[in-house]
Amino acid sequence: MTWPVLASAAAFAGAGTAIGFRKLDYEAIPKTGILSAAFFVASLIHVPIGPSNVHLILNGLLGMMLGWAAFPAILVALVLQAIFFQYGGITTLGVNTLIMALPAVACYYLFYPFLRAKPAVYLSAGFACGAVSVFLSGVLVGAVLVFSQQHFLEVAILVVSAHLPVMIVEGIITLFCVGFLKKVQPLMLQ
């Protein structure tokens, strides 16, 4: 990736993290930590595909439950992965945070209002939230690659295509998490 892409992504990720910290309520810190840990563990298990890899992200679930606080939660998990496992890298923290947290916040605004509806609606919204967040993350990865080097267009298409199965899996996981939380602890989704 080129330095202008890294710098601009870091600036946007920093702004999103600042907004996330401002909107992070004191009572939501334990929930944010637990979701950050879930993101940390889920995204460590990855499958290499060509020049990239695919892995569970759970950013849709984080977005639905945390809103803007998904930015600091994702950033903390990525920092720990970079330090402990040399996965992702320090120089790409801004890019990786932006790629995963921006779709989380977008899905919060798109699907959170449906959590107050009937079970068929909020379960469908849970699936869509998980799937759309992964799709948007894949599109952002592709955009970062294309903005870095124009000849990365084929690689960008491959990366987005590789995330299609992950979209389905993430949608199912988010659907079950939303359904479980609505029955057991509905206050966690508020």
At residue 52, the pLDDT reads 62
- Show the CA angle centred on residue 154, arms to residues 152 and 156, nearest 5°: 65
Residue 94: closest CA among 144, 156, 149, 165? 144
pLDDT (tens digit, 9 = 90+) per residue, 29-38?
Answer: 999 999 999 9
Percentage of the chain exceeding pLDDT 70: 97
| Residue 78 reports pLDDT greater than 80 | yes
| Residue 148 reports pLDDT greater than 90 | no
At residue 14, the pLDDT reads 95
What is the C-alpha to C-alpha distance for residues 178 and 111, in angstroms, rounded to an integer?
12
Positive or negative CA dihedral for 35, 58, 128, 19? positive
| Residue 74 reports pLDDT greater than 70 | yes
Mean pLDDT on 90-106: 93
- Domain ranges for the chain: 3-189
At residue 50, the pLDDT reads 63
Question: Which alpha helices (DSSP H) does the chain contain, by range?
Answer: 3-23, 29-44, 59-66, 70-85, 93-111, 119-148, 153-162, 164-184
At residue 109, the pLDDT reads 95
At residue 158, the pLDDT reads 79
Cβ neighbours for 142, distance < 8 A, ≥ 6 positions apart: 156, 157, 159, 160
Q: Which residue has the tokens 């909020």?
A: 122
Mean pLDDT on 82-108: 91
Count CA within 13 A, CB hemisphere, residue 152.
Answer: 17
For helices 3-23 and 93-111, angle between their N-to-C axes, nearest 10 degrees? 50
Residue 166: closest CA among 143, 125, 133, 123? 133
At residue 164, the pLDDT reads 85
CATH number belonging to domain 3-189: 1.10.1760.20
Tokens for 170? 């993430």
At residue 32, the pLDDT reads 93
| Residue 51 reports pLDDT greater than 70 | no
Buried b / exposed e across 117-145, counting CB within 10 Å, b at 16+?
A: eeeeebbbbbbbbbbbbbbbbbbbbbebb
